[in-house]
Structure 1
Amino acid sequence: MADDFPRVGQVIDYHYLWKWQDARGETEGRKRRPSCVVVVAIDRNGKHHLFLLPITSKEPAAGRQAVLIPETEARRAKLDTRFPLWVIVDEVNYDILETSYTLDDRSPRGQFSPAFSDQIVLAFKAIRDTRTLRVSKRT
């Protein structure tokens, strides 16, 4: 595991479980996909509570909230730059680092800049504050 993991703005490969899959009773993400760490909270026992946002190349459907990733940020995060990518901000996976069965590779593939990370966090918080955030618990 990287010494600086987890940090907001880091991009990891994660078996992301979409909320529609969770609602159908699925417990495993169907494939590893780049995901962005958006919140890291450390509890009094020292456990890291992670909130992870999916990154997708599929243009978000109408009504979904996402942030388009600029090409320079995609390169910084070591993502494919041949097509547009989005960070979906209205859906999140919640996981605990120390007990996670899905975080098998804990080395980040890359990191968004602080300015772009702030943009993602602000968009995420706006959705969270409206209480329309879709959460799949992986614990």
Structure 2
Amino acid sequence: MELPEPGEVINYSYLWRYEFEQGRDEGVKDRPVAVVVVVQAADGIHKVLVVPMTTTRPGRDQIAIEVPDAVRRQLGLKAAHSWIVVSEWNEFSWPGFDIRPITKKSGEISYGALPAGLFRRVRDAIVAGAAGRPVNRDL
């Protein structure tokens, strides 16, 4: 499986922080996630950091960026609104067990890529809120 690129949106079983704190070790629902960083560790394994996309309006404890209509259409997302939550993320070794094929795309895992400007906003928001809530899926 090819390595994803930063800004790419893939289908993934995202584990929300609150689910992790409740003792779950797998996400309840597959969803689009934006790849933020891909790094190669000293052991040669690639680590991927992803942030979730959701159709649920963000809560007061979440920092999120709304996805513009044109981007939602480009990615093939059908909901009226979507947000990229930047106040938490999952980190996992590539390829991870929680990567899922997109139902309507013949086994593909990628929806496409975020436009460069939107990706920069996501990346900058994560850096600005460096005290986010990561969930390491390799533990």
TM-score (ref. length: structure 1): 0.87
Opposite residue 43 of structure 1, the aligned amino acid is: A
SS of 2:117 mapped into structure 1 = helix
The corresponding residue for 2:80 is 83
The corresponding residue for 2:115 is 113
The corresponding residue for 1:54 is 52
CA distance in structure 2 between the partners assigned to 1:85 and 1:95 by the alignment = 24
Cα deviation for residue 44 of structure 1 reads: 3.0
Asked if the contact 2:30/2:100 (under 8 Å) is kept, the reply is no
Deviations 1:115-134 (A, max 9, x none): 11111111111111xx2x11
Over aligned residue pairs, what C-alpha RMSD do you find? 1.6
CA distance in structure 2 between the partners assigned to 1:63 and 1:44 by the alignment = 35
The corresponding residue for 1:22 is 20
Aligned with 1:124 (options 113, 126, 130): 126
Deviations 1:65-123 (A, max 9, x none): 0001001111222222x41100000010110104x221254731211111111111111
Asked if the contact 1:16/1:54 (under 8 Å) is kept, the reply is yes
Asked if the contact 1:67/1:120 (under 8 Å) is kept, the reply is yes
Name structure 1 gaps, 5 residues minimum: none
Aligned length: 132
The corresponding residue for 1:102 is 98
CA distance in structure 2 between the partners assigned to 1:61 and 1:40 by the alignment = 28
Residue identity over aligned pairs, in percent, reads 28
CA distance in structure 1 between the partners assigned to 2:44 and 2:75 by the alignment = 27
Asked if the contact 2:66/2:82 (under 8 Å) is kept, the reply is yes
CA distance in structure 1 between the partners assigned to 2:42 and 2:136 by the alignment = 20
Asked if the contact 2:17/2:135 (under 8 Å) is kept, the reply is yes
The corresponding residue for 2:137 is 138
SS of 1:109 mapped into structure 2 = strand
Name structure 2 gaps, 5 residues minimum: 102-107
CA distance in structure 2 between the partners assigned to 1:119 and 1:74 by the alignment = 16
SS of 1:50 mapped into structure 2 = strand
